[in-house]
């Protein structure tokens, strides 16, 4: 379980990235220092910032700018890519249509998933079959987001190499049947200011997104630099703010990594409250296991936690679909 942390650690992952293609990377001193920091952060907080990630600031900022541009559009324009069961639960959802713990969240969003072609995952993946619904306005939205996605998929897999080493495995322990063909999710989210009375739906509460854990392996969050809204709960129940640090991503681990680590790493509760007078955007990328992967505690982690498997096996796709089908007011 997450400890009584008061601040979220910042980790420079550049030594890890420099050696990520080296088959002997786990013997490098700089890599091992990063892995030790990742291990401590995953045990104590389940959250950390990463810097030295190699993603250009210009692209990070352009992604946020184009997200603001989209959410500034009239509702009728945004709703042209409306999320529905027919779209494979991809597309735009208006304020209050996303549900956490049966309470509407005060945000709007575009939901994106890895493309699922008909029959790709059999009956398990049928509800998510489809391609992403990219808006035509702004005109550069699709191109920019797909470039960003490609870099985030690569970056997150390299961070997972470090986490793999931290758990006493090889750098590629999460490849193959576990996450060698990973699913991914991206949520492009807008949080209205509490004082905003121009929204299509009146703000009924102040919770931008209710307390939850993430579903998969690793999350990377690109948030506005000047608004503090993301909060992480420590073991004492205190909410610790993930204050924006320009040039970094906020990272956290998800439910599937908690299972794989046999509870050594915690998928920590977090929420969003935008108490700023300004509209806030956040682009969250989620690296997931293979869609049909059976996730269970790793043997090396069982040995680290008393020799007993403490967490039950889960099929990732079942876990995801079960959440997706209960997350929306349709």
Residue 195 has pLDDT above 70, yes or no: no
Residue 112 has pLDDT above 70, yes or no: yes
Average pLDDT over residues 265-277: 94
Q: Return mean pLDDT, the chain.
A: 93
Residue 163 has pLDDT above 80, yes or no: yes
Residue 197 has pLDDT above 80, yes or no: no
What local confidence, expressed as pLDDT, does residue 46 receive?
95
Q: What is the pLDDT of residues 231-250, one digit of tens each?
A: 999 988 999 999 999 999 99
What local confidence, expressed as pLDDT, does residue 102 receive?
81
Q: What is the pLDDT of residues 37-80, one digit of tens each?
A: 999 999 999 999 999 999 999 999 999 999 999 999 999 999 99
Residue 241 CA to residue 285 CA, distance in Å, equals 20
Residue 199 has pLDDT above 60, yes or no: no
Residue 181 has pLDDT above 60, yes or no: yes
SS (H, E, C) the chain: CCCCCCCCCEEECHHHHHCCCCCCHHHCHHHHHHHHHHHHHHHHCCEEEEECCCCCHHHHHHHHHHHHHHHCCCHHHHHHHECCCCCCCCEEECCCCEEECCEECCCEEEEEECCECCCCCHHHHHHHCECCCCCCCCCCHHHHHHHHHHHHHHHHHHHHHHHHHHCCCCCCCCCCCCCCCCCEEEEEEEECCCCCCCCCCCCCCCCCEEEECCCCCEEEEEECCCCCCEEEECCCCCEEECCCCCCCEEEEECHHHHHHCCCCCCCCCEEECCCCCCCEEEEEEEECCCCCCEECCCHHHHHHCCCCCCCCCEEHHHHHHHHHCCCECC
What local confidence, expressed as pLDDT, does residue 205 receive?
65
């Amino acid at each position: 379980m997450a400890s009584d942390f008061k601040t979220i650690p910042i980790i420079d992952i550049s030594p890890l990235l420099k050696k990520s293609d080296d088959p002997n990377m786990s013997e490098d001193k700089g890599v091992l220092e990063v892995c030790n920091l990742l291990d401590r952060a995953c045990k104590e907080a389940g959250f950390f910032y990463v810097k030295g990630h190699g993603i250009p600031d210009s692209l990070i900022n352009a992604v946020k700018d184009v997200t603001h541009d989209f959410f500034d559009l009239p509702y009728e324009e945004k709703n042209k890519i409306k999320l529905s069961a027919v779209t494979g639960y991809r597309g735009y959802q208006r304020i209050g249509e996303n549900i956490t713990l049966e309470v509407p969240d005060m945000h709007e969003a575009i939901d994106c998933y890895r493309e699922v072609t008909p029959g790709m995952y059999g009956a398990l993946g049928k509800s998510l079959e489809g391609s992403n619904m990219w808006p035509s306005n702004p005109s550069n939205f699709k191109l920019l987001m797909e470039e960003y996605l490609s870099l985030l998929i690569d970056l997150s897999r390299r961070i997972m190499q470090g986490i793999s080493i931290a758990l006493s495995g090889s750098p590629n322990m999460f490849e193959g049947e576990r996450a060698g063909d990973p699913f991914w999710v991206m949520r492009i989210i807008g949080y209205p200011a509490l004082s905003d009375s121009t929204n299509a739906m009146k703000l009924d509460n102040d919770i931008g997104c209710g307390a939850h854990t993430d579903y998969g392996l690793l999350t990377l969050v690109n948030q506005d630099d000047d608004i503090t809204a993301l909060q992480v709960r420590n073991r004492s129940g205190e909410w610790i703010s993930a204050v924006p640090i320009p040039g970094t991503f906020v990272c956290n681990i998800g439910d599937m990594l908690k299972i794989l680590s046999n509870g050594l790493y915690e998928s920590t509760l977090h929420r969003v409250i935008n108490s700023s007078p300004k509209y806030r955007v956040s682009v969250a990328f989620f690296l997931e296991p293979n869609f049909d992967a059976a996730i269970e505690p790793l043997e090396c982690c069982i040995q680290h936690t008393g020799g007993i498997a403490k967490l039950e096996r889960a099929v990732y796709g079942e876990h995801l679909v079960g959440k997706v089908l209960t997350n929306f007011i349709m």
